Chain A
Amino acid sequence: MRILIVEDDAVLGDGLSVGLRLSGFSPELVETCADARHAIAMEGFEAVVLDLMLPDGSGLELLRELRQSGSDMPVLMLTARDGLDDRVTGLDAGADDYLGKPFELPELSARLRALTRRAQGRAENLLHWNGLALDTARMSGRRGPEEIAFSRREYTVLAALMERPGSILSKATLEERLYGWQEDIESNTVEVHVHHLRAKLGSGFIQTVRGAGYRLAPEAAT
């Protein structure tokens, strides 16, 4: 799940970035409103974690701009100002949720899952495909009575594919989901994780599209 984090505090930004990645998200961190605008324009993020006070402007302004442009991307406001008035202003400006600093990572993760779940019209934290139910909160799968555990990176690759069943994700896209923009990427890791996933889910679950990337096999007729 791709999350855009807009936070200018270095330690907190890093914490959010690493913490959300450990929780199975694919976060990208930007520190200014300007960078946030570019990031939002470029890529489809599934949610934004937005700090209220940024060095080059107010998060609220950015949020209003986003809503005026017609975007309905879920936005979670993250701010030190969590008084009633501040919350009301934030929500009225178009925020979908509000979290006061300091907060705990599990709560932030849960709220982000809830936001994206709601945006996608789902009632539970489960992605379904070909008999596999992927629990996005526990990062584990279930097929019939069988519980399937995934490593964090395996889960990230699988979740990326299951969020858009049928569409082809390039190796670069998947690498980005695994490591974000700024990090060094170990070569071959996507292949390694797909290999492990095929071993757990059956070789036909993920298909290789030559020259393009990977996609989920079409659902078997039942």
Chain B
Amino acid sequence: MSSIRGRLLAILLLATGVIWLSAALWTQVSTRAQVIQVLDRRLEESARMVASLIREGGLSVDQAAQAARMERADADGFHLLHQLSCQIWGLDGTLISESAGAPEGRLSEAGNGFSENEVDGELWRVFTLADPELDFRVMVGDAQAMRDQLVRNVTLGQLAPTALMLPLLAALIWLTVGRGLRSLDRLGAALSNRPASDLGPLDEAPAPRELRPMIAALNGLLRRVDAARDRERSFTAFAAHELKTPLAGLQTQAEIARMAPDTATRTRALVQIEQGVKRTDRMVKQLLAMTAVEHPPGAASGAPQDGAALLQAVADDLAPLAGRLGVSLQVSAPPGLWSTAETTLLQTALRNLVENALQASPRGETVSAALSLEGAGAVFEIRDRGPGISDAERPHVTERFFRGAGATTSGSGLGLAIVATAAARMGGSLHLSPREGGGECARLILPR
């Protein structure tokens, strides 16, 4: 059952029912025992009283037989007691007298004491008291049905109010639980009425204590989603703005190509357009890479791969670029040194570092890329002989869209930001420092 209210109601009703039934059984058993005890004593007392009345004086046997009933009736005023019957038999087996309403048959065939007999189709409990001197036998009995009735009445009298309470209890539970759950309904309504843009916290104050942890958790989630969305939005806005500049360049160059007075000007504009398209394309690729390193498709996916092999693969990919730039690329990475499952993040980071180094290097120089182990980390070191990063720009180079004064035309301003983000994702860090003898040394340090 998926309804809290229904389940609660069922459990409560079941529990109450079980308790009620147990109480009923227990009452019945204990009442029966007490009733037997009390009524048996009454039978015995009545018999002795009748016997003594006859023995000690005055009263005729008839009166005495009636007295057994009257005396008890006066004492208890109990309407069922009229079923108490008395018979006085002679020892020779003749009926001397009996009370009004006594059955036709002889109440008991037994001697002295208690017995149970079927008389005229009814079960009776009888106490017999024989008086051999005066030659009579007093039998006082009551019908078993009366006794059962008595027990039933007592039990019912005790349990009927409880039975009546049950629907009331159910109604109360239903209402109270409903009332408690109304806060959930309110919460649901508050959430479903919200526009997607509203990620403000939910009000905790009016909610019952039990709901507050959930609201707090929801608010925490809302905060995180809000922050993520803000980051995303600012990134998208930034990206859109960044793309507007190359677009403006394309637009302007296209207009120049259209209005160019001579072929040379037009050709030049077309070359510029090609460069602009290349730069825009690279920027879009870098934006996608940035998004990819920021939102990797789940944790480390796939089997671990050798770090040296990954570095070599990046170097192989970039070999054509190195060739075009006239820069040689030297990889020194012993296989089997270190491996990682974060292959995509690592390759993206390495590709950006090596590409940066290649593009910064003057023709004829060498870029070296090495993998080594140092203490607790695996270190990828990419070194170039480019102009290096100026001290003024050093603190900003890993900011998104930062482009230094000497930025190449194809730079997106995202490369080092991507590396830094990817490094952080992998639990590592990026360190940039001037290289001895000129150039830049980039160290990507990852946990072993």
Return the contact of B249 from the options A15, A55, A100, A106 (Cβ within 8 A): A15
- B279 contacts A by Cβ under 8 Å: yes
**Which A103-158 residues have a C-beta within 8 angstroms of B?**
103-106, 152
- B276 contacts A by Cβ under 8 Å: yes
Closest B residue, CB atoms, query A33:
B405
- B251 contacts A by Cβ under 8 Å: yes
Q: Contact at A11–B256, with CB atoms within 8 Å?
A: no
Query: Given that A11-B276, A102-B250 are contacting pairs, would A19 and B255 also be in contact in the complex, using a CB cutoff of 8 Å?
Result: yes
Residue interface bits B378-409, CB-to-A below 8 A is 1, else 0:
00000000000000100000000001110101
Residue interface bits B223-247, CB-to-A below 8 A is 1, else 0:
0000000000000000011101111
- A51 to B248: give the CA distance in the assembly, Å: 12
Question: How many residues in B have their beta carbons less than 8 Å from beta carbons of A?
Answer: 32
Contacts of A14 in B (CB 8 A): 249, 253, 272
Closest B residue, CB atoms, query A103:
B248
CB distance from B199 to the nearest CB of A (A): 22
Q: Contact at B248–A12, with CB atoms within 8 Å?
A: yes
Residue interface bits B277-292, CB-to-A below 8 A is 1, else 0:
0010000000000000
Closest A residue, CB atoms, query B279:
A11
- A18 to B246: give the CA distance in the assembly, Å: 16
- B333 contacts A by Cβ under 8 Å: no
Query: Given that A11-B272, A55-B403, A80-B244 are contacting pairs, would A22 and B259 also be in contact in the complex, using a CB cutoff of 8 Å?
Result: yes
- B252 contacts A by Cβ under 8 Å: yes
Residue interface bits A56-100, CB-to-B below 8 A is 1, else 0:
100000000000000000000010110000000000000000001
Closest A residue, CB atoms, query B277:
A11
- A55 to B407: give the CA distance in the assembly, Å: 8
Closest B residue, CB atoms, query A23:
B259
Return the contact of B256 from the options A10, A19, A51, A56 (Cβ within 8 A): A19
- A208 contacts B by Cβ under 8 Å: no
Q: Contact at A11–B261, with CB atoms within 8 Å?
A: no
- B260 contacts A by Cβ under 8 Å: yes
- A55 to B252: give the CA distance in the assembly, Å: 21
Question: How many residues in A have their beta carbons less than 8 Å from beta carbons of B?
Answer: 28
Contacts of B275 in A (CB 8 A): 10-11
- A38 to B407: give the CA distance in the assembly, Å: 20
Q: Contact at B245–A15, with CB atoms within 8 Å?
A: no
Contacts of A8 in B (CB 8 A): 403, 407
Contacts of A104 in B (CB 8 A): 251, 255
- B418 contacts A by Cβ under 8 Å: no
**Which B183-213 residues have a C-beta within 8 angstroms of A?**
none
Query: Given that A12-B252, A19-B256, A22-B260 are contacting pairs, would A80 and B242 also be in contact in the complex, using a CB cutoff of 8 Å?
Result: yes
Residue interface bits A1-29, CB-to-B below 8 A is 1, else 0:
00000001111111110110010000000
Contacts of B248 in A (CB 8 A): 9, 12, 15, 78, 80, 101-103
**Which A165-200 residues have a C-beta within 8 angstroms of B?**
none
Q: Contact at A152–B249, with CB atoms within 8 Å?
A: no
- A32 contacts B by Cβ under 8 Å: yes
- A51 to B249: give the CA distance in the assembly, Å: 12
Q: Contact at B253–A11, with CB atoms within 8 Å?
A: yes
Q: Contact at A32–B405, with CB atoms within 8 Å?
A: yes
Query: Given that A18-B256, A81-B241, A103-B251 are contacting pairs, would A11 and B246 also be in contact in the complex, using a CB cutoff of 8 Å?
Result: yes
Contacts of A11 in B (CB 8 A): 246, 249-250, 253, 272-273, 275-276, 279, 409
Contacts of B259 in A (CB 8 A): 22, 105
Closest B residue, CB atoms, query A20:
B252
Q: Kindly list 4 other residue pairs between chains A and B, CB separation below 8 angstroms, not including A12-B245, A15-B269, A102-B247.
A: A9-B249, A11-B273, A15-B248, A16-B252
- 10 smallest A-B Cβ distances: which pairs? A15-B252, A12-B249, A11-B249, A80-B244, A101-B248, A102-B248, A80-B241, A11-B276, A10-B409, A101-B244
Q: Which residues of B contact A (CB under 8 A)?
A: 240-242, 244-253, 255-256, 259-261, 265, 268-269, 272-273, 275-276, 279, 392, 403-405, 407, 409
